[in-house]
Copies of this chain bind each other. A is one copy, B any other.
């Protein structure tokens, strides 16, 4: 029994002859190791949960891809879990009454508060993704949203834009993501001596191109005037493009537009989207590094890491 186990797992101290004999039997019988047995015995499942709002949102889909590849490289598989950005959904993720299904979890909360996350004392190693306020006790990776938002805003200012709006944040309850991006946007305006104008903030009913288009369209129809839009994410930017196109405005001549996330389709819009590009590979590997350290027993304070980002200049805001 043990010898077979050793052969299956490539344990070195097995004589070539025995190994070969066992292997032949394995092949003949079509034996497949049963994971559940192995995992019960070792206590490791080889599974990770990746939880976020909705795979149908391109950013998350691309994140899932990157995480899943990175996990696979470390011998892990990924279980996808969607919260629909609801409190219940997110609580369900943390509560998930069954233990031992996964060895660790990568979790991007949308609405849960830092304190509620902190209160959840679970034995499951967790690393948080994204900007939602993370408790000091929990690891987290994000990009520097404030800095990136300031960069993109500065880029517009340098191109001569003076009335710069912001599109796509939630209302009335701002997500931490939106808050940080708006902070960066505002600080860049102020640093250039421009007056932030609350009338140039255009919230969207949901994270979707359709709602962003509706918001920008309504603003234009009631006479709002701006020469650039910083969008919370690429979906909002795509919606903004659509609303502007519909009303015959030229992009970027009349209004420059920037997105965020640099999703695959960003370059295929017309005009193509200038966008903040988080380094997903770095983000995923930093997150997994910390998660594996936790799984290996590390029990220190929460580490908060910053993943790099870039700004990809395209036609919508050259």
Contacts and interface: CB of A to CB of B under 8 A. Distances in A.
Interface of A: 32-37, 39-40, 45, 47, 54-56, 58, 61-62, 64-65, 68-69, 77-82, 97-101, 208-210, 213, 235, 238-239, 241-242, 245-246, 264-265, 267-270, 272
Contact of A55 (B40, B55, B208, B267): B55
Given A56-B264, A208-B264, A213-B268, 10 more contacts: A34-B99, A35-B99, A35-B100, A37-B100, A40-B40, A55-B64, A61-B64, A68-B80, A80-B80, A242-B269
Contacts of A81: 77
Contacts of A210: 267-268
A102 to B, nearest CB: 9
Given A80-B78, A98-B35, A241 B270 contact: yes
A68 B40 contact: no
Contact of A36 (B32, B36, B58, B268): B36
A266 to B, nearest CB: 10
A209 B58 CA distance: 14
A257 to B, nearest CB: 12
A268 B240 CA distance: 10
Contacts of A98: 32-35
Nearest to A66: B56
| Copies of this chain, whole number | 2
A51 to B, nearest CB: 12
A268 B82 CA distance: 24
B35 A37 contact: no
B99 A32 contact: yes
A227 to B, nearest CB: 20
**9 closest Cβ pairs, A-B complex:** A32-B99, A61-B61, A209-B268, A34-B100, A245-B270, A35-B101, A36-B40, A35-B98, A56-B65
Given A36-B36, A55-B55, A241-B270, A265 B209 contact: yes
Nearest to A241: B270
A85 to B, nearest CB: 13
Contact of A61 (B56, B69, B101, B235): B56
B100 A36 contact: yes
Contacts of A78: 79-80
A238 B265 contact: yes
Given A80-B80, A210-B267, A270-B246, A45 B55 contact: no
